[in-house]
């Protein structure tokens, strides 16, 4: 079937515009209406292609924004780690657990920093 369709398409492409118009008129086709229908179909196809390109562009922009957001979050996590390390390094009075801070949960770095800052702000070891 595909071979027959291919040959029919080749035959149409080999025809001149006048031959195509004559054959359409023989079939009783209104040339002006057919021309408008083809123009509308072509415009619709162009619009659909444009919509797909726009959707793909939007997806690419969203992906880029997501990657940028992850980079910013990682930067803030690195900043939190640096603040925690500075507090730990500058305070030898911290407990052994606080001084040996090695493992943390990225989601809880803010909590760890708040705890350390609270410890450093309290006068918890003034009895010495």
Cα–Cα dist 29/102, whole Å:
81
Query: Are the C-beta atoms of 19 and 26 separated by less than 8 Å?
Result: no
Cα–Cα dist 127/2, whole Å:
94
CB atoms within 10 A of CB 87: 18
The tens digit of pLDDT for each residue in 56-82 reads 889 999 988 888 888 777 767 778 788
Every domain of the chain and the residues it spans: 17-121
Q: How would residue 86 be classed by pLDDT, with cut points 50, 70 and 90? A: confident
Cα–Cα dist 84/90, whole Å:
10
Structural tokens at position 78: 């690195």
Structural tokens at position 10: 């080749």
Q: What is the average pLDDT across 70-99?
A: 73
Structural tokens at position 87: 């507090």
């Amino acid at each position: 079937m595909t071979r027959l369709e291919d040959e029919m398409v080749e035959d149409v492409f080999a025809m001149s515009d006048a031959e195509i118009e004559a054959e359409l008129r023989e079939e009783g086709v209104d040339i002006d209406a057919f021309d408008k229908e083809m123009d509308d179909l072509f415009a619709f196809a162009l619009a659909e292609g444009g919509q797909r390109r726009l959707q793909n562009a939007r997806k690419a922009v969203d992906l880029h924004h997501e990657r940028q957001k992850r980079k910013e979050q990682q930067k803030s996590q690195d900043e939190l780690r640096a603040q925690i390390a500075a507090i730990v390094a500058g305070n030898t009075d911290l407990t052994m657990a606080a001084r040996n801070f090695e493992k943390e949960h990225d989601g809880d770095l803010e909590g760890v920093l708040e705890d350390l800052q609270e410890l450093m702000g309290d006068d918890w070891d003034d009895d010495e």
